[in-house]
Amino acid sequence: MKLLKDILYGTRIQETTGSTHVAIEDVAFDSRQVKAFSLFVAVPGTQMDGHHFIDEAIAKGAIAIVAEKIPEEKKEGIAYIRVHDTAASLGPIAAAFYDHPSASMKVIAVTGTNGKTTTVSLLHQLFRSMGRKAGMLSTVENRILDRAIPATHTTPDALQMQRLFRDMADAGCRYVFMEASSHSIHQHRLAGTQLAGAVFTNITHEHLDYHGDFNGYIQAKKGLFDLLTSEAFALYNQDDPHGMDMVHDTKGRIVDYALTSMADYRGRIVENQLDGLHLHVSGHDVYSRLIGGFNAYNLIAVYAVTKELGMETMEVLTHLSMLKPPPGRFEQVAAPEGVTAVVDYAHTPDALDNVLKTIDTFRTGNTQVITVVGCGGNRDRTKRPIMAKVAVKWSDRVFLTSDNPRNENPDEIIEDMRRGLDPIEARKCIAIANRREAIRMAAQLTQNGDIVIVAGKGHETYQEIQGVRHDFDDRLELINAFKLV
């Protein structure tokens, strides 16, 4: 319970009606979650506008309203606070309500098209293995120390985030590693969070359905670095052509990492095999069970973060070699002898290109690469033909199938993918809308020495079709398919 005036401290208020000397027992921005003595923040959303539910929130017990437009008919005994941007105000309000938990921890946010989940998961795994108390917010799951909490979004909403931070701080966490999606940055979900550092991995074609164009996507990512203070570090990938764009005008202390450029943290791949990587990082040898050049970048970023946080070098290197990839990220599953089977979350052209390019380096003799891939429904359509083009470039056989079709027709999504192929490329492809059937057919085609990859869903354990989530795990489907061979 807190006084409204204390919760609002630091919020840019334009107008107040009613007393702010009232006790608030909860904060909500969804009217369905409102309880007695709540503060309701009316946030305009992509589907619904919270301003339409102010009366409902009051009926459920809200005694204070934060809004961009105050209703003409005001209810007696209700405090109304007008602000310019309720989405931007929700984070600071939530942070104040939960006693600014991020201020007591070192919160590191990682953004980029690819590598966010792996980098965050490796950091959390590393710090826990070194005995440090750490929390994690990721696409796969959230963690408070070693307790897993299901994740519904890449980045939680501002209210849930501050609540999780509070739980982490209460559990003794000193470090938090979190993914920051472009949507969350654009929607001000990190407002009110005190960051100790931010990391940029890379940026490629993704989410243009939301951001409009590539420049809008870049600006959304850059917004994370605009939040940094002079006490925070701004770590970016020097090898990415847009890396410098991210840190332009940031107040944070700028540091960089790279594989091919000169950088503060420079790495070099010594050896890349199916059993792991041998890297040379800032003058030190690093052996890792992770595979591929894309993971080399992730490991260098992890090492750089540990050093920026003041960790001891030899302790970090010792534990770095024991890290495991997160679920569904280049995850090898059981397959017949002589066959390599991989499941990966790659759902962007660049991520798929990275994974297939890595697999290509492991070809020997008559190795065939067989790829199963689809594209999500109700998402950026422009990447669909590119995904098919990438799959065909590195594969001997490609099964075009459904991913999470959501409310779209899977056959139409596949047709969008096929438009990226010329007649010769199209001959490599088989279109099977049923994902289970496509995986089964791919498994049946494998012979000794072949590599099969199922891309797009990774760790996900469901397939969303017409608004309904059905149990579906690519890893289990692939294992079961081999049992039928």
User: Amino acid identity of 349?
Assistant: P
Cα 157 to Cα 90: distance, rounded to the nearest angstrom = 9
List the chain pLDDT tens, one digit each, 485 residues. Answer: 899 999 999 899 999 999 999 999 999 999 999 999 999 999 998 788 999 999 999 999 999 999 999 998 999 999 999 999 999 999 999 999 999 999 999 999 999 989 999 999 999 999 999 999 999 999 989 999 999 998 877 789 999 999 999 999 999 999 999 999 988 999 999 999 999 999 999 988 655 555 457 788 898 899 999 999 999 999 999 999 999 999 999 999 999 999 999 999 999 999 999 989 999 999 999 999 999 999 999 999 999 999 999 999 999 999 999 999 889 999 999 999 999 999 999 999 999 999 999 999 999 889 999 999 999 999 889 999 999 999 999 999 999 999 999 999 999 999 999 999 999 999 999 999 999 999 999 999 999 999 999 999 999 999 999 989 999 999 999 999 999 87
Task: Please check whether residue 176 is in contact with residue 135, taking contact to mean a CB–CB distance below 8 angstroms.
Answer: yes
Contact 299, 199 (CB under 8 A): no
List the one residue out of 315, 335, 323 whose CA is nearest residue 295.
Answer: 323
Per-residue confidence (pLDDT) for residue 210, from 0 to 100? 54
The closest of 426, 422, 355 to 394, measured between CA atoms, is 355
Q: Which CATH number fits domain 101-320: 3.90.550.10, 3.20.20.70, 3.40.1190.10, 3.80.30.20?
A: 3.40.1190.10
For residue 158, CA distances in Å to 87, 191, 346, 353 come to 9, 7, 27, 33
Give the integer Cα–Cα distance in Å for 312 and 130: 10
**Whole-angstrom distance, CA of residue 116 vs CA of residue 351:** 12
331-483 in CATH: which number? 3.90.190.20
Distance CA 482, CA 341 (A): 10
Report CA dihedral (58, 60, 63, 69) to the nearest 10 degrees: -30
CB neighbours of residue 421 within 10 Å: 19
Strand order from edge to edge, sheet including 331-333 = 331-333, 340-344, 451-455, 369-375, 397-402, 429-431
Structure token digits, residue 330: 């280049």
Q: Which residue has the tokens 């039928």?
A: 484
Within 10 angstroms of residue 399's Cβ, the number of other Cβ atoms is 25
Helix (H, G, I), strand (E, B), or coil: what is residue 59? helix
Give me the residues paired with residue 266 across strands.
258
Concatenated DSSP letters of 415-456 = HHHHTT--HHHHTTEEE-S-HHHHHHHHHHH--TT-EEEEES
> Would you state the pLDDT for residue 261?
95
- 419 Cβ neighbours under 8 A, 6+ residues apart: 384, 385
Burial class (CB in 10 A: 0-12, 13-18, 19+), 433: middle
**What dotted CATH number matches 2-89?**
3.40.1390.10
The predicted model scores a pTM of 0.90
The distance from CA 156 to its chain's CA centroid, rounded to whole angstroms, is 10
* Edge-to-edge strands, sheet with 38-41: 13-17, 79-83, 62-67, 38-41, 26-28
CA–CA separation, 298 and 288 (whole Å)? 11
Phi-psi region of 442 (alpha: psi -120 to 50; beta: other; left: phi over 0): alpha
Read out DSSP for 63-90?
EEEEESS--SSPPTT-EEEEES-HHHHH
SS3 223: helix
CATH 3.90.190.20 in the chain, residue ranges: 331-483
Domain with CATH 3.40.1190.10 in the chain: 101-320
Residues 6+ apart with CB under 8 A from 225: 198, 200, 234, 246, 247, 250, 252
